[in-house]
Amino acid sequence: MKKYLIPLAFCLTIAVNAQKLIHKIPVDASVVVTIKGDNVLDLVSLDEFSKSKIGSLLTKELKKETDEKIENLDEVGFNFSEDFHYFLKSETGVMTHCFLLPMKHEKGFLNIIPERKKENIQKKGNISYIVDGSSGPIVMWNNQLLMIYVSTNTALESEYNSVKYDYGYDSYNLDAVEAVEEAVELSYEEQQEKYKREEEEREQKRLEREKKREEQLAELNAKKSAFKDIALENAFSTFSTTSATHRSILKNPSFVKSIGKGKEEVSVWANNFAKLYFDAIGGYLYGMAGGMNPYDIIDINKLYGEASITAKLDFDEHQATLKTIYALNDEMADIYRPMYDGKFNKNFFKYINEDKLLGYLSLNMSVEGILRAYPELMDNVFKPNDKESITDAVSLGVDLFKTLIDEKGAAEILRGDMVLLLTDLVQREVTYTDYEYDEEYNYKKIEKAKTETLPDFLFMCTSNKQSIFNKIMNIGVREKALVFEDGIYEIIDKPRSTPFSLYIMQKDDIVFIGSSKEQMSAMSNGTYVPKLSGSLKSDIRKNASSAFVNGKKIISQIPAESYPRDLRDKVSFLTNNIGGMTFNSQKMKGNSMKSEIVFDTQGEGHKNSLAYIMNIIDSFMD
């Protein structure tokens, strides 16, 4: 019995997969976006969305536009429990955008179509379709699928527009000026006769230009019509495709690798940026560069060839997460990898107190690696070209850079690891210049004061050159730009518009720049009390870049009167509902760079993070 069950299960899997719209996406698509309807409905049902303010507004508009033929979102006819897809296919000069929307029935969609448009509906078998002009979308549907197909020949459209909107004004005006200048030396009768003759000649030229323009437009319209016929044929092919008849995107190794477990609600995949760049932008750049093609000097394929990005948006119970993976080609990965080979100064943790932290941004790069990689990157991106001297100039600059720059010495001054901390929000009195006017609109400057909420911050970076720091500070003191007291330098020569004080010191191979003298003094004399959780310490130390924003704390510390009037009554709601945001970008592993943004959505009355976002939107629609 078992030997029959396995083939049967396999056949059933194929039958189910054949119904999935993803099989209609071609293997050579450049971009694929998927919204997983079933995952979304598990978080927020269609009924719950319909009862939200944005859902109610959408339903109201649908009822209005369809003369109440549609009274709720379910009657539109979409199968919201299936996956919705968008894909972009790029070929040289041709960009094709396609939306694949699953349907339960076509009745609802037919009710959305305006009556005047229904006259344009055509049929081919069980497929209905509308072709919206020579440049508009092709819309196809049946009881299972609605497809919106937009294919554009960018070169043809550009040529068409240049001819259509070229009326020859410059030539006409030049002729008129020359005629007037010559007519000045003639008698009045001769002037009239000459002007009449030249007016007839100009009109004749205009008619000839217009005739030529109409002929060109007719020829281009014929090309556009032929292109539309091809697009319609391709649209039918895409609409009718099944997994048994088509090499779908599921045969693309890069896309298949990006799928993962498939628990996310939204996914985006883009592949081979170089091809997409050439197909979408190349022709425009050539025309705009005055005859110089940038691709003659910049090797886009080396820079972006085989590069891909995958992004996934996942809504959990208490957080929303956006994960991205950026993959480079082997050559670029070898160049970029040393940039991320940085060492992190653990002494930073002695000067961070998590309880007082409103936010931070950390960077853990290698200045030595960056300075070594930069010349190699320039050598690879700018390819040799006998016609353009800029490539020789770049090559010369690279050689001089390698000769003059001491990478290890520069890394001693600035290693590449640094942290910026937002430690407090305080009320400070700041001065500003205002103007007073008398009755004759003469003005005079008046200095005024006002209270503003300003941040206290601390910036730390690793520097092993204490002697260089001391020399710079000594120069500042002698030039009366700095004052020195108790091991701390204060910047006194700064723009009057700077609303806070600035202090500098160096300790533990760290240069400190901050706005709070009290905090800096505690760090200088060893009385500062650090506190940092293991998870936050790990985020800062292990990642190439990390950031955190405590939205709840920031909002609660800003006085209500500082907000715009229409937001003041929302402050309490925001304080109770806005959480934190964490960003981490990992160091390179292999050819990939991974990053993650996590939004904390724990709040009052939200069953999950998608419902949280919907409730936040609703609160601002009051």
Residue 14 placed within a domain: yes
pLDDT digits 0-9 by tens, 587-614? 999 999 999 999 998 877 789 999 999 9
Contacts 24+ apart (CB under 8 A), 443-446: none
β-strand partners of 83:
36
Core vs surface per residue 117-142: b (16+ CB within 10 A) or e: eeeeeeeeeebbbbbeebeebbbbbb
Better-predicted residue by pLDDT, 559 or 285: 559
- The whole-model pTM stands at 0.83
In a domain, 101, yes or no: yes
Judge whether residue 474 has pLDDT over 70.
yes
Q: Are residues 451 and 537 in the same domain?
A: yes
Is the Cβ–Cβ distance between 295 and 243 less than 8 Å? no
Tell me whether residue 6 is in a domain: yes
Residues 216 and 272 in one domain: no
Exposure on the CB side of residue 499, measured as CA atoms within 13 A: 17
State whether 137 and 216 are in the same domain.
no
Q: Are residues 257 and 287 in the same domain?
A: yes
Q: State which H helix or E strand residue 58 sits in.
A: helix 53-65
Query: In this structure, are 15 and 84 located in the same domain?
Result: yes
Do 392 and 432 have their domain in common? no
Determine which of 187-191, 411-415, 448-452 has the lowest per-residue pLDDT on average.
187-191
Total of domains in the chain: 4
Q: Once rounded to an integer, what is the mean pLDDT over residues 286-315?
A: 74
Mean pLDDT of the region 560-574: 73
SS3 annotation, 415-470: CCEEEEEEEEEEEEEEEEEEEEECCCCCEEEEEEEEEEEEEEEEEEEECCCHHHHH
Of 276, 304, 332, which residue is a domain's last? Answer: 304
268 inside domain: yes
pLDDT value at residue 7: 37
The verdict on 116 and 128 lying in the same domain is yes
Residue 309 resides in a domain = no
Are 27 and 162 found together in one domain? no
- Give the pLDDT band (50/70/90) at residue 215: confident
CA distance 167 to 183: 26
Check whether residue 566 and residue 434 sit in a common domain.
yes
- Is residue 316 situated within a structural domain? no
Q: Are residues 458 and 555 in the same domain?
A: yes
- Give the pair of three-digit tokens for residue 363: 């960077």
Q: Is residue 341 part of a domain?
A: no
> CB under 8 Å to 163, separation ≥6 — which residues?
213, 216, 217, 220
Count CB-CB contacts under 10 A for residue 301: 17
| pLDDT for position 386 | 60
Element (H, E) at 37: helix 37-43
- The answer to whether position 511 is within a domain reads yes
pLDDT band at 354 (very low <50, low <70, confident <90, very high): very high
Confidence of residue 198 (pLDDT cuts 50, 70, 90): confident
Q: What is the mean pLDDT of residues 220-232?
A: 88
Mean pLDDT in residue range 533-556: 92
Range of the domain at 192: 158-224
pLDDT class of 167 with cuts at 50, 70, 90: low
Tell whether 491 and 565 lie within a shared domain.
yes
pLDDT at 291: 46
Return d(Cα 540, Cα 330) in angstroms, integer: 28
User: 253 and 130: one domain?
Assistant: yes
pLDDT for 332 beyond 70? yes
Helices (H), 440-564: 466-478, 517-525, 534-542, 551-557
